[in-house]
Structure 1
Amino acid sequence: MRTQLLTVCLAMFALTAFGQKELLDAEKYRFEVMAKKDTKTLETILADDLMYTHSHGGVDGKAKIIESVAAGTYKNVEILEQNPISWGNTGVISGKARFLIGDPNGDRTIILKYTDVYRKEKGVWKLAAWQSLLVTE
């Protein structure tokens, strides 16, 4: 009985670890897509009901984020830390990243702490919610 319980626990741990790696890979890919201004791909990896809360408090949906990416707002993202949790088709990442932001008055670098929520739809992790806080290094 103990062997069976141990086997089940190990299998659950392996599935959770695999889900977390998938989740981290999805986020890294999303940041890369944003920096490349690949709006066609971005369309497929953002949830239709996306709620994107910026560090300044403004909230945008999917269409506005895609428009912002197309304009070159997000030039580069360097992930500094990530802490993923996944439960089946839902995942949460709390992290910290350095963003190079395109600005008409000159590009600027900001550091954000964030929490985002991903939902797996038809095998694809899609960003469903983002909330960030501006921090100093």
Structure 2
Amino acid sequence: MQDVLAVDDARTAALIAADRPALDRTLARELRYVHSNGLTQDRAAYLDAAVGGAMQYRVIKPLERQARPVSETVVLVTGSNHVEVVLNGKPLQADVLYTAVYVKEGGGWKMTAWQSTPAPASK
């Protein structure tokens, strides 16, 4: 599972660096990305927004992460992140819970689905 987590790390680094070619290499052709506010994007819309668009990621800090194989070609990554992003010019900080689905595509692991939700407030 280390190879999948390495791709997940590369995806995160590409988001923070706003490196479109690097991010592009980590995403499957049929990506479906569901943000914690419910906004759903396909691959093209997500790339446009995440690199040079409405979202500028500043910090993505993993708080917890686990990879679980479903088959030889599908791995689920679940966890939580602390995220700091500038969204449409406004800074936002949030802790989110997420599920990411990685598939073997083109000889490597690619993220094909992401869904996140706000984490419950700490007590």
Would you say same fold, with TM above 0.5?
Answer: yes
Cα RMSD over matched residues?
A: 1.4
Whether the 8 Å contact between 1:35 and 1:69 is mirrored in structure 2 is no
Whether the 8 Å contact between 2:10 and 2:26 is mirrored in structure 1 is no
- Residues 1:127 and 2:108 aligned together: no
Q: State the Cα distance separating 1:56 from its structure 2 match.
A: 1.5
Runs of at least 5 residues in structure 2 that lack an aligned partner in the other structure: none
Counterpart Cα distance in 2 of 1:96 and 1:77: 10
Q: Where does residue 80 of structure 1 map in the other structure?
A: 63
Q: Where does residue 32 of structure 1 map in the other structure?
A: 13
Indicate how the Cα distance of structure 1 residues 51 and 81 shifts in structure 2: closer, same or farther if over 3 A, else same: same
Counterpart Cα distance in 2 of 1:54 and 1:103: 12
- Residues 1:99 and 2:83 aligned together: yes
Indicate how the Cα distance of structure 1 residues 126 and 56 shifts in structure 2: closer, same or farther if over 3 A, else same: same
From the two aligned structures, give the one with the greater strand fraction.
2
Counterpart mapping for 1:39-78 below 5 A = 39-70=20-51, 71=53, 72-78=55-61
Runs of at least 5 residues in structure 1 that lack an aligned partner in the other structure: 1-19
- The runs of at least 4 aligned residues of structure 1 exceeding 6 Å deviation read none
Q: TM-score, normalised by structure 2?
A: 0.87
Q: State the Cα distance separating 1:45 from its structure 2 match.
A: 1.4
Q: Which amino acid aligns with 1:76?
A: V
Counterpart Cα distance in 2 of 1:83 and 1:77: 16
Counterpart Cα distance in 1 of 2:2 and 2:58: 25
Q: State the Cα distance separating 1:123 from its structure 2 match.
A: 2.4
Aligned length: 118
- Residues 1:108 and 2:73 aligned together: no
Indicate how the Cα distance of structure 1 residues 103 and 54 shifts in structure 2: closer, same or farther if over 3 A, else same: closer
Q: State the Cα distance separating 1:105 from its structure 2 match.
A: 4.8
Higher Cα Rg, which structure: 1
Q: State the Cα distance separating 1:93 from its structure 2 match.
A: 0.6
From the two aligned structures, give the one with the greater helix fraction.
1
Which range moves more in the overlay, 54-63 or 68-77?
A: 68-77
